Amino acid sequence: MSEKMCEGRVCIVTGAGRGIGREYALLLATEGAKVVVNDYGGARDGTGSDQGPAHEVVEEIIASGGKAVAHVGNVSSLADAQTMVQLALDTFGGLDVLINNAGILRDRMLFSMTEEEWDAVIRVHLKGTWAPSRVASEYWRNRAKAGESNDARIVCTTSVAGIYANTGQTNYGAAKAGIAAFAQIAAQELVRYGVTVNAVCPGGLTRLTEDLSFSDEMLARFRPERVAPAVVWLASAQSAGVTGQVIESSGMVLGIAEGWRRGPHIDNPPMDPREVDGIVRGLLAEAKPRTTMADIV
Ligand SMILES: NC(=O)c1ccc[n+]([C@@H]2O[C@H](COP(=O)([O-])OP(=O)(O)OC[C@H]3O[C@@H](n4cnc5c(N)ncnc54)[C@H](O)[C@@H]3O)[C@@H](O)[C@H]2O)c1
């Protein structure tokens, strides 16, 4: 067998009790990583909690000869993020990779969405990306300041719902587009400390996609385990130097999502608002069409 890609690397995967995160944890362990399996085991909408899923994945990894430990904290709590990173340090002696994957859904059209539906989704995705990243990045910065070298990774999770804009998901899409921006900005801040930060845009049949309808071809190919190879590569030393990117990964596609860029523009904007309409409509006619949800299914 070829060399293991993540031999000895210590990886935290949040939301790894089910779905896509579970596949990351299993493949990372197969590739030699020591895995902290975080999952607080809530329902699809984030309500409730259950320690079972995280422990089951850990048992599965250990039964296959791998190394793993469960953490059942909530990613959107800074205190829980601290115990998560500390568990990696205490159990495995370090931390090389943080994969921010945990997520929930509370879909609703904007005009009907409740404050709680907005807050819950923003809290789990956006704050739940920030809190573990905040703690892990401080650990890596302290190491660098002490003269140690890092070959570390943060992998965040965005979504086509955010970067290509899906109707009915202003909360989720805004959080996910925010996470794509978070990854690019954190990449710039952490490059000097030996940490790359990228975002993955995954796709796979899980309980989060059970409301959607798929063609037979998609049902056959859109499996959560198909997301994991690209994420294991990102977690490995092989992805050195790749940072600030958004990478689409599923059984249907492996590709680079190209982000915002300055398009057609003029350099001397008018002072008279009456002139704006003609100018902006002319620029819009020149602009490249965006990728939409209709283009990707
Ligand atoms: N499935 C897809 O096609 C798809 C597409 C785009 C993006 N995503 C994203 O991929 C990630 C994984 O989704 P999935 O489809 O595997 O969903 P899933 O529901 O199968 O798994 C998500 C896991 O995260 C855990 N979790 C939720 N909130 C948590 C919290 N606060 N703290 C700790 N754990 C928590 C859940 O208990 C669950 O086990 C999510 O960020 C999701 O938004 C999925």
Any idea what the CATH number is for the domain that residue 252 is in?
Answer: 3.40.50.720
Using the predicted structure, report yes or no on whether residue 250 has a pLDDT greater than 70.
yes
Which residue reads 């989704």 in tokens? 121
SS3 183: helix
Flag whether 189 is in a domain. Answer: yes
Query: What total of structural domains would you count in the chain?
Result: 1
Across 7-15, average pLDDT: 98
**Sign of the torsion angle spanned by Cα atoms 36, 37, 41, 46:** positive
CB 54 within 8 A of CB 33: no
Q: Is residue 47 part of a domain?
A: yes
Please answer whether residues 51 and 83 qualify as being in contact, where contact means their C-beta atoms are separated by less than 8 angstroms.
Answer: no
Q: Is 5 among the domain residues?
A: no
CB 104 less than 6 A from any atom of ligand 1: yes
CB of 20 closer than 6 angstroms to any ligand 1 atom = yes
H/E segment holding residue 25 = helix 19-30
In the chain, % of residues over pLDDT 90: 94
Quote the pTM value.
Answer: 0.97
Whether residue 285 lies inside any domain: the answer is no
- Residue 86 and residue 36 in contact, taking contact as beta carbons nearer than 8 Å: no
201: CA distance to ligand 1 center in Å? 12
Per-residue pLDDT for 219 more than 90? no
21-34, pLDDT tens digit by residue?
999 999 999 999 99
Mean pLDDT of the chain: 96
On whether residue 243 sits in a domain, the answer given is: yes
In a domain? residue 95: yes
pLDDT above 80 (res 1): no
Q: Which residues are catalytic?
A: 172
Judge whether 17 and 137 are in contact, CB under 8 Å: no
Ligand 1, from 58, 83, 125, 208: best to mutate by most atoms within 8 Å of Cβ? 208
Note whether 163 and 120 are within 8 A (CB): no
Domain annotation covers residue 224: yes
Domain that residue 32 falls in: 10-262
Q: Is the CB of 21 within 6 Å of ligand 1?
A: yes
Q: Is residue 279 part of a domain?
A: no
Position 239 scores a pLDDT of: 98
Look up residue 236 and give its DSSP letter.
S
